[in-house]
């Protein structure tokens, strides 16, 4: 594909938080290859904080395009921007239609879901086998013959002001600057099928508190207050609940960076940890690990692959027993987390843990 010095490049970002993080190598690539261009992003309103303080975009359009009025509002906004080149990272027909109606220059994206006629170029993969999403998104850049960046690892950024807000929040909850922190992420916007049982998180918090003397941070999002209450109710140790009323997706970045370890369901914050270099234990049940198998040097993914019902990719367990998640025990998660902490300590002689 021949693209020469576009004045304005628009990127329609993925819909899910984790996918936005995994798409950041694409943004690095565009910024490097088109240093003089104006880069404009389109992103769901709820996920905009993921990209705060990043070096990529000169402007950001937030949207609620699932609504009819929001769809046409997006069309009008993109039309005013007048991009010469547009990358469409979501697979939906709707995203390609919106940019087509907006006259968004040369449109590039994956040719699937009946939208090939709406695109000027893009990969047509020979099959739909699961592959790492960061590679899947970056394939668009390869097909455009762009020079890849020195690293295709996802990246996230936050300002000193945001770091200060995170430290102030922790201090207000009685957390010292040098205390060891364990982060727990027990929810999942996708659905309950991805959620490890609250009583397992409670037991895990007790194990780590007793073994390492760490403080435990509980990260939950909108609609997950009952999960947080269940964990606090069943845990005999102090759990510092940082819900969405305290922490948005921008503030979550310095808070996760402050953790020595994150234990997370297979959802957005696990990708924060990868991008920020924080060790993470991932509790995976109904989803295929192939989609997120990149950059796992500080990750341990716990999953029982011997079950005949996985991966189902259903939002709720269709069988009712949720065996894929319940079969991962607190002991499994504790041993995985302990191994990651010990590995971090071995690589950094200035870090010491009181593990047992």
Residue 39 has pLDDT above 90, yes or no: yes
Q: Do domains 8-143 and 160-347 have the same CATH topology?
A: yes
Q: What is the pLDDT of residue 355?
A: 46
Q: Are 325 and 196 in contact (CB under 8 A)?
A: yes
**pTM attached to this predicted model:** 0.94
pLDDT digits (tens, 9 = 90+) for 228-274: 999 999 999 999 999 999 899 999 999 999 999 999 999 999 999 99
Nearest to 81 by CA among 146, 31, 11: 11
Per this entry, what is the length of the chain?
A: 356
Summarize the confidence of residues 90-114 as an average pLDDT: 95
**Contact of 163 with 57, CB cutoff 8 Å:** no
**Residue 217 β-bridge partners:** 183, 240
At the topology level, CATH places domain 8-143 in Rossmann fold (3.40.50)
Q: Which helix (H) or strand (E) holds 204?
A: helix 198-212
- Residues linked to residue 242 through DSSP beta bridges, in sequence order: 219
Q: Provide the residue ranges of all domains of the chain, joining segments of one domain with +.
A: 8-143, 160-347
Cα distance between residue 88 and residue 245, in whole Å: 32
Count the alpha carbons within 13 Å of 177 in the hemisphere toward its beta carbon. 5
Residue 243: name the closest of 268, 220, 270, 264 by CA: 220
User: What pLDDT was estimated at residue 85?
Assistant: 97
pLDDT at 4 (0 to 100): 75
Superfamily of domain 160-347: Glycogen Phosphorylase B; (3.40.50.2000)
pLDDT tens-digit map of 262-307: 999 999 999 999 999 999 999 998 888 999 998 899 999 999 877 8
Most confident listed range (33-47, 60-74, 113-127, 187-201): 33-47
* Cβ atoms within 10 Å, residue 66: 10
Confidence tier at 172 by pLDDT (50, 70, 90): very high
Residue 193's pLDDT is: 87
């Amino acid at each position: 594909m021949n693209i020469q010095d576009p004045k304005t490049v628009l990127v329609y970002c993925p819909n899910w938080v984790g996918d936005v993080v995994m798409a950041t190598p694409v943004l690095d690539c565009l910024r490097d290859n088109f240093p003089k261009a104006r880069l404009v992003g389109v992103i769901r309103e709820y996920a905009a904080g993921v990209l705060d303080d990043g070096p990529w975009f000169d402007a950001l359009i937030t949207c609620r395009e699932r609504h009819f009025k929001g769809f046409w509002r997006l069309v009008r906004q993109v039309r005013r921007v007048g991009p010469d080149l547009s990358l469409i990272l979501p697979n939906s027909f709707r995203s390609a239609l919106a940019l087509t109606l907006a006259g968004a220059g040369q449109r590039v994206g994956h040719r699937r879901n009946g939208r090939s006629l709406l695109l000027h170029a893009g990969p047509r993969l020979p099959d739909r086998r699961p592959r790492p999403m960061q590679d899947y998104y970056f394939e668009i850049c390869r097909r455009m013959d762009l020079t890849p960046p020195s690293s295709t690892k996802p990246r996230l950024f936050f300002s000193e002001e945001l770091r200060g807000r995170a430290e102030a929040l922790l201090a207000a909850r009685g957390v010292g600057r040098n205390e060891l922190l364990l982060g727990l992420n027990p929810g999942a916007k996708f659905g309950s099928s991805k959620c490890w049982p609250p009583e397992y998180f409670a037991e895990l918090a007790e194990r780590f508190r007793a073994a390492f003397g760490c403080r435990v941070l509980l990260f939950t999002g909108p609609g997950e207050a009952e999960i947080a209450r269940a964990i606090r109710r069943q845990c005999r140790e102090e759990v510092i609940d940082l819900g969405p009323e305290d922490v948005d997706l921008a503030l979550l970045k310095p808070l996760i960076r402050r953790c020595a370890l994150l234990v997370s369901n297979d959802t957005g914050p696990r990708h924060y940890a990868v991008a920020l270099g924080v060790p993470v234990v991932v509790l995976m049940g109904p989803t295929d690990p192939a989609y997120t198998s990149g950059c796992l040097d500080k990750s341990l993914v716990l999953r029982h692959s011997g079950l005949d019902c996985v991966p189902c990719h259903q939002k709720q367990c269709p069988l009712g027993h949720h065996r894929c998640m319940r079969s991962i025990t607190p002991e499994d998660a504790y041993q995985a987390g302990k191994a990651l902490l010990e590995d971090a300590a071995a690589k950094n002689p200035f870090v010491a843990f009181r593990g047992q």
